[in-house]
Structure 1
Amino acid sequence: MKYSIFFLFAFCSLIGFATDFRLSDPKDIALAPVQNNIRNVLDLSGIWRFKKDSLNIGEKMQWYKGLSDSRAIAVPGSWNAQYDDMRDYLDWVWYETETYVPSSWKGQKIFIRVNDATYSAKIWVNGKPLGYHEGCHVPFAFDITKHVNWGVANKLVIQVENQLSPERVPTGNVQGGSFQSFPASNYDFFPYSGLNRSVVLFSVPSSYLRDITIKPSFEGSKGALNVTVESVGGINKGRVYVHGQGKTIEVPLVFKNNRANVGVVIPDVRLWCPEDPYLYDVKVVLGEGNEQMDIYNLKTGVRTVSVNEKSILLNGKPIFLKGFGRHEDFPALGRSSSNSVIIKDFGLMKWAGANSFRTTHYPYDEENYNLADREGFLVIGETPGVGLYFAGDGDSLEKRQQAMTRYIEEMMLRDKNHPSIIMWCVANEPGENAQIGKMGYSSDEVKEKAYNQFEKLFKQVRKRDNTRLVMYVGVMFGPTDWFNLTDVIAINRYWGWYSSPGNIELGAKTISTELDRLHNKFKKPCMVTEFGADAQAGMHSVNPEMFTEEYQKEFIKAYLDVADSKDFVTGMHVWNLADFKTSQGLIRFGSYNLKGVFTRDRRPKLAAWYLRKRWNGQ
């Protein structure tokens, strides 16, 4: 009898949790918060109160009503980087701040938007449960209108944890995983935790624009924007204004079931490209005349992306992607947002002659894409699906699949209107099993199931966006048949480093042979999305030796020479722009991946100077 009572209590608790903590709606992050004469934004960045909860007793003890014995923490910020005693701590913590909501916001809908809580978060407002989100590097938002207290400070409390699990994406604590490290992540970068990006309040009118999707195209000198608008509140009219090159084009909107779609024709269009990243201003208005209920402004570029057997085509012309993989990683900041670091990194990439980067291995802070739009960088937008695998426990597999499905939805909703993004990367180095190199042990049944699951993710991306290319990045010894799903063959390769270490010549021959084989089989353009070698800054040798700056430079040179000899190689991304923090492991001296051509604090190594000379044609 006592067991029946126990399970009844547990079941009721789950029902209570599901009722009190609703899941966030991805549609609420489709439009970034903006300040204009109708909408409002209040950034809550600053020093918050913070408390560790290693026993997970905070909710039972009602810490959501206010934290006692707390310490200070910066938001945004990674707790592992701010406190030495919490460097490897990944369990529960609590954040608290207080804020007034301006009285001028009365009568509007008020939302809270958390731009990244790694990995899962619960939110309370004024002691009342609000909502729950699971997943990292993507924002989530909740309507808090009914919870707001006017004229007094409002208490905001967020519980966060970043426990590593095989059920999550990216995965951790995987039996036989690829990286034997501490903390036990199944990926090669440090699992920084917390509120790593800003938290903001924003308001919208009672009838408002919920989503805007812009798909550009052109034919000859005539450009076109297909604009789809979704609204809330039943207003049935509106307008789209497109301004550029001194002219404004105005098109009416007619909503049916809160949805409208129009085509905007742009004569004498000015195309977006790295050499001329021209952006058109788009203003969408809900309502007409003096009854303008909502206004939203954004920028877009007119360009097309396609492929042939040998090249990626931007606006119908072949383009070669020169660039880097990057990480949002910097001393003291961990993985937290910093506009200063974004500006610095873009400056270094331009200095080196790069025109592109991949958001390794997760969606970046939105300011990266805004700046890429303005500066003309080509971006491969990547999900957090790093180290993804499709075997093992059925429940874990299904939870990973669900996580990936949601990630794709959230990432594409947030980032879909950036002209800089030319490709979506579904996953980095996925495999059938958790352990890289174990592919030969998979049965045909396991391989087929893995392929089918992976294919579903590709179909999801293509259904949502038919204007960009889709790819994944293949790992050494990984399955190659999966490239049937892609528009571009993208591989990470380290022949001459992890395999045949010290032998750059053999490594170059191996990558050359492999590229030929892949292109002959799939007849698709190829790119190497990672290649490089660790180099300890200041370590030198007359003859290139592993871990010296000379070896790193010669390794990169050899791979670039191979690419130059093949007309079907359409891009080369050096791994990495800058050294970055990792978990502790035998192959990571000092817990750093030292493959950056810049040090972690952005000082150039010999390879950076070499790339500057080569990529700038000097």
Structure 2
Amino acid sequence: MTDSTHPSRRAVVTAFGAAAFVALPAWPATARAAKGATAAAANGPVLDTHPATEPSGTHVREVGGTSVVFQYGAVLPAFDGWRHREPTREYLSLDKRWRFRFDPADQGLAQGWQSPHHDDGAWGRIDVPSAWDLLDTPGFGSQTAPFGEGTAFEDGYAWYRTTVDVPASWRARHLRIAFLAAGYSAEVWVDGRHVGKHEGANSPFALPVTGALRAGGRRTIAVRVFRRASYTDYTAPDAQPVTDDHELPYRPVDHWPYAGLTRSAWIEAVPQVTVTKLLVSAADGRLEARAVVENHGDADFDGRLTLDPGRGSGGRPTAVAARIAARSAGVVRVTVPVPAAPRWSPASPHTLTARATLTAGRSAGHRVDTLSTTYGVRELTVADAQLRLDGEPLFLKGLNWHEETAAHGRAMTQAEYDRELGHVTAVGANFVRNCVYNRHPYVYDWADAHGVLVMDDIDTMWLNTAQEKLQTERYGLARALALTMAWNQHNHPSVILWGLQNESEIDPDGAPVYRSWLADLKAAVKSVDLTARPVTWASNTSNDPAFDLADVIGFNEYFGYFYGKDADLGPTLDAVHAKYPDKPILITENGTWAIAGTHGPGTTQGTEEWQAASFTAHWAQVSARSAFVAGFTYWVLKDYKERAGYNQSYNGISVMGLLTFDEERPKLVHDAFRAAVNPRG
């Protein structure tokens, strides 16, 4: 049996007519849990175990001239099943009440909690999706509640169990179980069979379960979720941070690491021959589509794929041959004129829906599978120190924001997303930075529909040189997160920038490790993005030795707060521009803090007046340089929760927002930001 920690990455290409295919990678019928005993310091917090490389086997293969992302021995699929239902597929939602039990001593695995025969009648219950932080933490959103109490500080392992009735009609289908998020990591068993492990709290994953989830009966699904403690003791004055070199982030950071199955989950039954992913790129009156088709059957498939560019595009459905060898993945390419398709822009966010339909036989055969995707027609370029959309320079009036509410943590409802994101448009922002992790798919759909531009980020925050080296040379989790970000968000017109890291360490001896790591991440996103979006990152310095690798120079600056004076920003921007005259510059973070209701002179730290005055000073310097500065991203939309060793007197709430955390009440800086005039209109 193939070791689950070392899945085969051998590319087998077979000639079949005029096409080329890649055999589906080997993946064990029964994946095994990571080897090794659970690690812990003496009487200290539990640490998770890790295989030699990140556990999903994420990698890219060239298939018919297209870079395709694979995980768990299959193509990483589209995750539209959380909301859309393709007529050729069947779905079982797992959004419901599950059995739940904390496992602080890590005894569940040895005691068979994963077994369908285990009696979980005495377990508690928890909603999926939800964050276990909010299971029993009174006053989580209050600035005056005590810090360090409740399930918000339960770390280590916890188990989820549920049963599903699998229709007998699914016997001829390919089955996968999808999770939009599991924080921080999750291992999944189906009827006692370990089917895989995922690492990364904010990226979706899908496990093939055809061999484990037998059709025609009641089956048990068990999930063991892990979260590392942030500190050895959350309230002790000498508490030490808890770290793990393999995890991302590897140490405590200043946002809340919500735990549990925090987003939707479902089981999807698709045909044996299925359109797993549809990549599209629309520009110059043409829609280019690449349909990634998997054949999980034992017979070669010979049929047709029809691409409908959608109502309002002016294009007609176009059919091409689709030949996919047995047990292989192939790419079917279609280009369709779309002469009437409207342009997508912040002012006019027109989107269209393309649909790929797979039929059997060379003529009008029976429908096998369909997959739809939303897209927009727009072109991004970087030239003459400007970031341009359809040839026009952009200025990004932006906000950082954290995906959380006091009521539900990171397991937000759609109504909460609408309210939170409504604050973005209410203050005239045209840009959000998804600091420092991928968001729920609804966020990207919302941005597409509302014309809000997006910089997407991954969890590569505050790494040091040793972690950068480990990720690049061996473990590969950072690369996996970069690949899945670009693959999952590929078709969204609102996503205009790929963010590679936030404030990570630069090695002192010429930065070779740092540069190699960033080059690896850049190559990963560029390999799968047909639209060649620019890459950037949020550097902790304006003198980053890898800025030559960036398409857009991005750095965080806190002049007048952590160092220097407010007035230092302008000369710094001029110096960076002089060194890199052809590259646009983006301020990825700037902000200060204010305790809501605290008033006084604009020179007194912590007052609302000081916070507003600081923003105004920085905005003036940035907007005056719009010829080469592409934008300014304020830190942060709303006060946010963190478990770092500061702000404990405010129950872990960082008070740097335009709005307060729980009540979402505006501070003076909210009005100052809203009044700030975008120099590009």
Give TM-score, length-normalised by structure 2: 0.79
| Contact kept in structure 1, 2:472 and 2:479, CA below 8 Å | no
After alignment, is 126-135 or 278-287 more displaced? 126-135
Letter in 1 for 2:485: M
Please state if 1:214 is matched with 2:280.
yes
- Among residues 460, 471, 486, which one is paired with 2:550 in the alignment? 486
CA contact (8 A) 1:337 1:365 kept: no
Residue 415 (structure 1) aligns with: 489
Q: Write the deviation string for residues 379-418 of structure 1: whole angstroms up to 9, x where unpaired.
A: 1111111113333696576455x01111112222211111
2:630 corresponds to which residue? Answer: 570
Q: Which amino acid aligns with 2:634?
A: V
Instruction: Pick one of 250, 258, 274 that aligns with 2:346.
Output: 274
Per the alignment, do residues 90 and 521 of structure 1 end up closer, same or farther by CA in structure 2, a change over 3 Å counting? same
1:349 maps to which of 403, 416, 424: 424
CA shift, 1:595, in A, is: 1.0
User: Relative to structure 1, is the Cα distance of residues 404 and 12 closer, same or farther in structure 2, using a 3 angstrom cutoff?
Assistant: closer
Equivalent in 403, 410, 417 of residue 477 of structure 2? 403
Unpaired runs of 5+ in structure 2? 1-31, 38-49, 58-71, 138-149, 229-241, 296-300, 325-329
Amino acid across the alignment from 2:428 = G
Which 4+ runs in 1 deviate beyond 6 A? 15-18
Instruction: State which of 204, 207, 228 in structure 2 corresponds to 1:139.
Output: 204
Residue equivalent to 1:63: 113
Aligned with 1:472 (options 524, 536, 541): 536
Deviation at 1:303, TM superposition (A): 0.5
CA deviation string 1:473-505 (max 9, x = no partner): 3444475121111111111111111224xxxxx
Supply the distance in 1 between the matched residues of 2:432 and 2:468 (Cα, whole angstroms): 35
The yes-or-no answer on 1:118 pairing with 2:183 is yes
* C-alpha distance in 1 between matches for 2:222 and 2:467: 37
- Match for 2:357 among 278, 281, 285? 285
**Matches of 1:304 and 1:599, distance apart in 2:** 37
User: C-alpha displacement at 1:361, in angstroms?
Assistant: 0.4
Match of 2:518 in 1: 454
Shift of 1:89: 2.5
Deviation string 1:182-214 (CA, Å, 9 cap, x unpaired) is: xxx1x2112221111111111111211112111
What is the DSSP-based 3-state SS (H/G/I as helix, E as strand, rest coil) of the residue aligned with 2:203? Answer: coil
Q: Which amino acid aligns with 1:577?
A: L
Judge conservation of contact 2:641–2:654 (CA < 8 Å) in 1: yes
Say whether the 8 Å CA contact 2:255–2:640 is kept in structure 1: yes
Alpha-carbon contact 1:82-1:333 (below 8 Å) kept? no
The alignment partner of 1:138 has SS state of coil
1:403-439 Cα shifts (integer Å, max 9, x gaps): 1111112222211111111111111122225xxxxxx
1:514 corresponds to: 572
* Bigger helix fraction: 1
Whichever residue aligns with residue 255 of structure 2, its letter is F
By how many angstroms is 1:26 displaced?
6.6
Cα distance in 2, alignment partners of residues 612 and 12 from structure 1? 51
Shift in CA distance, 56/229, structure 1 to aligned 2, threshold 3 Å: same
Three-state SS of the structure 1 residue aligned to 2:211 is: helix
Q: What SS is found at the alignment partner of 1:64? A: coil
Counterpart pick for 2:243 among 150, 154, 165: 165
Out of 219, 237, 240, the position equivalent to 2:307 is 240
Aligned in 2, Cα 1:235/1:408: closer, same or farther, shift over 3 Å? farther
**Pair 1:52-2:102 in alignment:** yes
**What residue identity is the alignment partner of 2:96?**
G
User: What letter corresponds to residue 108 of structure 1 in structure 2?
Assistant: R
Whether the 8 Å CA contact 2:280–2:287 is kept in 1: the answer is yes
Aligned residues of 2:104 and 2:155 also touching (Cα < 8 A): no
State the 1:584 CA deviation. Answer: 4.0
2:603 counterpart of 1:539: no
Unpaired runs of at least 5, structure 1: 1-10, 174-184, 434-441, 501-505
Contact kept, 8 Å, 1:120 with 1:135, in 2: the verdict is: yes
- How far the C-alpha of 1:111 sits from its partner, in A, is 1.4
Shift of 1:138: 0.7
Counterpart of 2:270 (choices 197, 201, 204) is: 204
Letter in 1 for 2:354: V
Q: Equivalent residue for 1:596?
A: 657
Mapped contact 2:186–2:225 kept (Cα < 8 A) = yes
Q: Secondary structure at the match of 2:99?
A: strand
Deviation at 1:275?
A: 0.9
**Stretch deviating more after TM superposition (251-260 or 341-350):** 251-260
Q: Secondary structure at the match of 1:481?
A: coil
Return the TM-score normalized by structure 1: 0.87
The amino acid of 2:346's aligned partner reads P
CA–CA distance in 2 between the matches of 1:150 and 1:267?
46
Match of 2:585 in 1: 526
Structure 1 residues 616 and 459 mapped into 2: Cα distance closer, same or farther (>3 Å)? Answer: closer
Task: Give per-residue Cα distances to partners, 1:14-55, cap 9 Å, x unaligned.
Answer: 49999xx98634723335324132112222112211111111
Identity %: 25
Cα distance in 1 between the residues matched to 2:468 and 2:316: 55
CA deviation after TM superposition for structure 1 residue 345, in Å: 1.7
SS in 2 for 1:92: strand
1:68: Cα distance to partner? Answer: 4.9
> Partners of 1:22 and 1:465 in 2: how far apart?
21
Counterpart of 2:520, as a letter, is K
| 8 Å contact kept, 1:49–1:95 | yes
The Cα shift of 1:236 comes to: 3.5
Corresponding position: 1:495 with 2:559: yes
Which piece of structure 1 moves more, 128-137 or 461-470? 461-470
Q: Which amino acid aligns with 2:183?
A: T
Aligned residue pair count: 573
Correspondence for 1:38: 88
**C-alpha distance after superposition, 1:277-307 (max 9, x if no partner):** 1112201011163411001122110101011
Q: Out of 313, 327, 330, which is 2:388 matched to?
A: 313
Deviation at 1:104, TM superposition (A): 5.1
